[in-house]
Protein backbone atom coordinates (compact mmCIF):
# COMPACT_ATOMS: atom_id res chain seq x y z
CA UNK A 1 0.00 0.00 0.00
CA UNK A 2 1.38 3.40 -0.98
CA UNK A 3 1.53 5.91 1.84
CA UNK A 4 1.45 9.62 1.10
CA UNK A 5 2.48 12.04 3.83
CA UNK A 6 0.52 15.22 3.21
CA UNK A 7 2.15 17.25 5.95
CA UNK A 8 4.44 17.04 8.92
CA UNK A 9 3.26 18.24 12.31
CA UNK A 10 4.95 19.03 15.59
CA UNK A 11 3.51 19.74 19.00
CA UNK A 12 4.18 23.32 20.02
CA UNK A 13 3.09 25.52 22.88
CA UNK A 14 -0.61 26.21 22.43
CA UNK A 15 -1.35 23.54 19.83
CA UNK A 16 -0.06 21.72 16.79
CA UNK A 17 1.93 23.33 14.00
CA UNK A 18 1.97 21.74 10.54
CA UNK A 19 3.73 22.40 7.28
CA UNK A 20 3.29 20.94 3.83
CA UNK A 21 5.86 19.08 1.78
CA UNK A 22 8.94 18.79 4.02
CA UNK A 23 12.03 17.05 2.65
CA UNK A 24 13.50 13.92 4.20
CA UNK A 25 16.96 12.40 3.72
CA UNK A 26 17.67 8.80 2.71
CA UNK A 27 20.80 6.76 1.95
CA UNK A 28 21.63 3.20 0.90
CA UNK A 29 22.65 0.49 3.35
CA UNK A 30 20.98 -1.47 6.13
CA UNK A 31 19.89 0.71 9.07
CA UNK A 32 21.30 3.84 7.42
CA UNK A 33 19.59 7.25 7.56
CA UNK A 34 16.61 5.92 9.51
CA UNK A 35 14.58 8.71 11.12
CA UNK A 36 14.88 8.40 14.92
CA UNK A 37 12.62 11.38 15.61
CA UNK A 38 15.56 13.75 16.05
CA UNK A 39 17.71 13.17 12.96
CA UNK A 40 18.53 10.47 10.40
CA UNK A 41 21.98 9.08 11.32
CA UNK A 42 24.40 7.23 9.09
CA UNK A 43 27.54 5.33 10.05
CA UNK A 44 28.87 5.34 6.46
CA UNK A 45 31.48 8.03 5.90
CA UNK A 46 30.64 9.29 3.41
CA UNK A 47 27.04 8.13 2.94
CA UNK A 48 26.30 5.99 -0.11
CA UNK A 49 23.63 6.91 -2.67
CA UNK A 50 22.00 9.57 -0.51
CA UNK A 51 19.30 12.02 -1.47
CA UNK A 52 15.99 13.51 -0.41
CA UNK A 53 12.31 12.73 -0.80
CA UNK A 54 9.44 15.19 -0.41
CA UNK A 55 6.01 14.72 1.11
CA UNK A 56 3.21 14.43 -1.46
CA UNK A 57 5.84 13.62 -4.09
CA UNK A 58 6.78 13.19 -6.78
CA UNK A 59 7.20 16.94 -7.05
CA UNK A 60 9.28 18.91 -9.54
CA UNK A 61 11.22 21.92 -8.39
CA UNK A 62 13.27 24.44 -10.31
CA UNK A 63 16.23 24.32 -7.91
CA UNK A 64 17.55 21.86 -5.34
CA UNK A 65 20.00 23.12 -2.73
CA UNK A 66 22.24 20.57 -1.02
CA UNK A 67 23.68 22.04 2.17
CA UNK A 68 26.39 20.38 4.25
CA UNK A 69 26.59 21.71 7.80
CA UNK A 70 30.15 21.05 9.03
CA UNK A 71 30.86 21.57 12.77
CA UNK A 72 32.73 24.82 13.33
CA UNK A 73 35.31 23.29 15.70
CA UNK A 74 36.81 20.98 13.06
CA UNK A 75 38.81 21.30 9.86
CA UNK A 76 36.32 22.26 7.13
CA UNK A 77 36.51 21.84 3.38
CA UNK A 78 34.33 21.99 0.25
CA UNK A 79 32.34 18.85 -0.61
CA UNK A 80 32.67 17.19 -4.02
CA UNK A 81 29.36 15.60 -5.03
CA UNK A 82 28.94 13.00 -7.81
CA UNK A 83 25.97 10.96 -9.00
CA UNK A 84 22.68 12.08 -10.53
CA UNK A 85 23.91 15.65 -10.14
CA UNK A 86 27.57 16.60 -9.80
CA UNK A 87 29.36 19.65 -8.51
CA UNK A 88 31.23 21.12 -5.58
CA UNK A 89 29.48 22.44 -2.50
CA UNK A 90 31.41 25.60 -1.68
CA UNK A 91 31.55 27.68 1.48
CA UNK A 92 28.41 29.81 1.74
CA UNK A 93 29.81 32.31 4.23
CA UNK A 94 33.05 32.87 6.11
CA UNK A 95 30.87 33.46 9.18
CA UNK A 96 29.55 30.29 10.76
CA UNK A 97 25.85 29.73 11.44
CA UNK A 98 25.54 29.94 15.23
CA UNK A 99 22.11 31.46 15.90
CA UNK A 100 18.66 32.01 14.41
CA UNK A 101 17.20 30.02 11.54
CA UNK A 102 19.01 28.26 8.73
CA UNK A 103 16.83 29.66 5.95
CA UNK A 104 17.43 33.23 7.13
CA UNK A 105 21.17 32.53 7.31
CA UNK A 106 21.00 31.30 3.69
CA UNK A 107 19.03 34.37 2.61
CA UNK A 108 15.81 32.53 1.74
CA UNK A 109 12.42 31.89 3.36
CA UNK A 110 11.58 28.19 3.72
CA UNK A 111 9.22 25.86 5.53
CA UNK A 112 9.67 24.05 7.86
CA UNK A 113 11.94 26.37 9.80
CA UNK A 114 15.25 25.02 11.05
CA UNK A 115 16.38 26.79 14.24
CA UNK A 116 19.95 26.35 15.43
CA UNK A 117 18.55 24.62 18.52
CA UNK A 118 17.48 21.68 16.35
CA UNK A 119 21.15 20.99 15.51
CA UNK A 120 23.12 22.29 18.52
CA UNK A 121 24.26 20.60 20.66
CA UNK A 122 25.47 18.28 17.93
CA UNK A 123 24.83 14.74 19.26
CA UNK A 124 28.21 13.43 18.07
CA UNK A 125 30.34 16.58 18.39
CA UNK A 126 29.43 18.29 21.62
CA UNK A 127 32.20 20.85 21.19
CA UNK A 128 30.59 22.46 18.16
CA UNK A 129 28.85 25.79 18.68
CA UNK A 130 27.64 26.13 15.11
CA UNK A 131 28.33 25.13 11.53
CA UNK A 132 30.13 26.28 8.41
CA UNK A 133 27.69 25.67 5.56
CA UNK A 134 28.84 24.33 2.20
CA UNK A 135 26.19 24.63 -0.52
CA UNK A 136 25.63 23.11 -3.96
CA UNK A 137 22.87 24.68 -6.06
CA UNK A 138 21.33 22.36 -8.67
CA UNK A 139 19.11 23.87 -11.42
CA UNK A 140 19.02 21.50 -14.41
CA UNK A 141 16.89 22.05 -17.51
CA UNK A 142 13.48 20.56 -16.75
CA UNK A 143 13.95 20.89 -13.00
CA UNK A 144 14.60 18.39 -10.22
CA UNK A 145 12.10 15.65 -9.36
CA UNK A 146 11.95 14.44 -5.76
CA UNK A 147 10.03 11.26 -5.00
CA UNK A 148 7.49 10.45 -2.27
CA UNK A 149 8.79 9.19 1.11
CA UNK A 150 7.29 5.82 0.18
CA UNK A 151 9.65 5.64 -2.80
CA UNK A 152 13.19 6.52 -1.57
CA UNK A 153 16.56 5.48 -3.04
CA UNK A 154 15.39 6.18 -6.60
CA UNK A 155 16.38 9.69 -7.64
CA UNK A 156 18.48 11.65 -6.98
CA UNK A 157 21.30 9.32 -5.90
CA UNK A 158 24.34 11.27 -4.78
CA UNK A 159 27.80 10.33 -3.49
CA UNK A 160 30.72 12.23 -2.02
CA UNK A 161 34.35 12.01 -3.05
CA UNK A 162 36.46 11.61 0.07
CA UNK A 163 35.07 11.90 3.58
CA UNK A 164 33.38 14.53 5.69
CA UNK A 165 33.76 15.68 9.31
CA UNK A 166 32.05 13.69 12.03
CA UNK A 167 28.85 15.42 13.09
CA UNK A 168 28.11 16.94 9.67
CA UNK A 169 24.44 17.36 8.77
CA UNK A 170 23.06 17.04 5.24
CA UNK A 171 19.91 19.03 4.44
CA UNK A 172 18.10 19.91 1.22
CA UNK A 173 15.86 22.74 0.01
CA UNK A 174 13.57 22.46 -3.03
CA UNK A 175 12.22 25.56 -4.78
CA UNK A 176 8.76 24.78 -6.19
CA UNK A 177 8.37 28.33 -7.45
CA UNK A 178 10.60 30.43 -9.65
CA UNK A 179 13.64 32.57 -9.05
CA UNK A 180 11.39 35.63 -9.05
CA UNK A 181 8.73 34.05 -6.86
CA UNK A 182 10.42 31.32 -4.80
CA UNK A 183 8.57 28.71 -2.76
CA UNK A 184 11.14 26.79 -0.74
CA UNK A 185 10.45 23.50 1.05
CA UNK A 186 13.07 22.63 3.66
CA UNK A 187 14.21 19.40 5.28
CA UNK A 188 12.34 18.47 8.43
CA UNK A 189 14.73 18.42 11.41
CA UNK A 190 14.34 14.66 11.90
CA UNK A 191 14.95 14.13 8.18
CA UNK A 192 18.42 15.70 8.24
CA UNK A 193 21.14 13.13 7.56
CA UNK A 194 23.71 13.12 10.41
CA UNK A 195 27.22 11.70 9.95
CA UNK A 196 28.01 9.63 13.06
CA UNK A 197 31.27 8.03 11.87
CA UNK A 198 34.69 9.66 11.91
CA UNK A 199 36.58 9.92 8.60
CA UNK A 200 38.69 6.85 7.87
CA UNK A 201 42.05 7.38 9.53
CA UNK A 202 40.95 10.78 10.78
CA UNK A 203 41.12 12.10 14.34
CA UNK A 204 38.08 12.17 16.63
CA UNK A 205 36.33 15.51 17.13
CA UNK A 206 37.83 17.98 19.62
CA UNK A 207 36.60 17.58 23.20
CA UNK A 208 33.83 19.92 24.40
CA UNK A 209 34.96 23.33 25.57
CA UNK A 210 34.33 23.63 29.34
CA UNK A 211 31.57 26.01 30.40
CA UNK A 212 32.82 29.23 32.08
CA UNK A 213 31.29 28.10 35.39
CA UNK A 214 33.24 24.84 35.16
CA UNK A 215 36.46 26.76 34.54
CA UNK A 216 35.81 28.95 37.59
CA UNK A 217 35.14 25.86 39.74
CA UNK A 218 38.30 24.17 38.47
CA UNK A 219 40.32 27.29 39.22
CA UNK A 220 38.89 27.52 42.75
CA UNK A 221 39.72 23.88 43.48
CA UNK A 222 43.26 24.31 42.13
CA UNK A 223 43.81 27.44 44.22
CA UNK A 224 42.44 25.69 47.31
CA UNK A 225 44.81 22.77 46.88
CA UNK A 226 47.75 25.13 46.44
CA UNK A 227 46.92 26.98 49.68
CA UNK A 228 46.49 23.68 51.55
CA UNK A 229 49.84 22.35 50.35
CA UNK A 230 51.59 25.63 51.29
CA UNK A 231 50.14 25.48 54.80
CA UNK A 232 51.28 21.90 55.24
CA UNK A 233 54.78 22.82 54.05
CA UNK A 234 54.97 25.70 56.58
CA UNK A 235 53.80 23.49 59.47
CA UNK A 236 56.59 20.97 58.97
CA UNK A 237 59.45 21.22 61.52
> Percentage of residues in the chain with pLDDT exceeding 90?
73
Q: How many residues does the chain have?
A: 237
In a shared domain, residues 170 and 230 = no
What pLDDT, on a 0 to 100 scale, did the predictor assign at position 118? 96
Give the tens place of pLDDT for each residue, 148-167. 999 999 999 999 999 999 99
* Structural domain that includes position 37: 15-206
SS3 letters across 156-178 = CCEEEECCCCCCCEEEEEEECCC
Q: Which pTM does this prediction carry?
A: 0.80
Res 3: pLDDT? 31
Confidence tier at 133 by pLDDT (50, 70, 90): very high
For the segment 69-76, the average pLDDT, to the nearest whole number, is 97
Asked if residue 2 belongs to a domain, the reply is no
* Under 8 Å between Cβ of 168 and 68: yes
5 located within any domain: no
Give how many domains the chain has, as a whole number: 2
Q: Give the sign of the dihedral formed by CA 217, CA 219, CA 220, CA 224.
A: positive
Q: What element of type H or E holds 216? A: helix 212-235
- Whether residue 51 is contained in a domain is answered as yes
Task: Please report the pLDDT score of residue 123 as a whole number.
Answer: 96
- pLDDT, residue 17, reads 41
Instruction: pLDDT band for 173, please (50, 70, 90 cuts).
Output: very high
Q: How far apart are CA 52 and CA 62, in angstroms?
A: 15
Q: Is residue 32 part of a domain?
A: yes
What's the confidence (pLDDT) of residue 200? 72
Amino acid sequence: MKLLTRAACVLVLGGVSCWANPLHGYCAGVAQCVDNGTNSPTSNNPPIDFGFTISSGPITGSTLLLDFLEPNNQANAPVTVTGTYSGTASLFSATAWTSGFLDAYLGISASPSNPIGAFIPDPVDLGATGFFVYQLSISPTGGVILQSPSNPNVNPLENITGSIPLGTYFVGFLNQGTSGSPNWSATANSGAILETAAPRGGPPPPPPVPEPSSLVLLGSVTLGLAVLLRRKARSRP
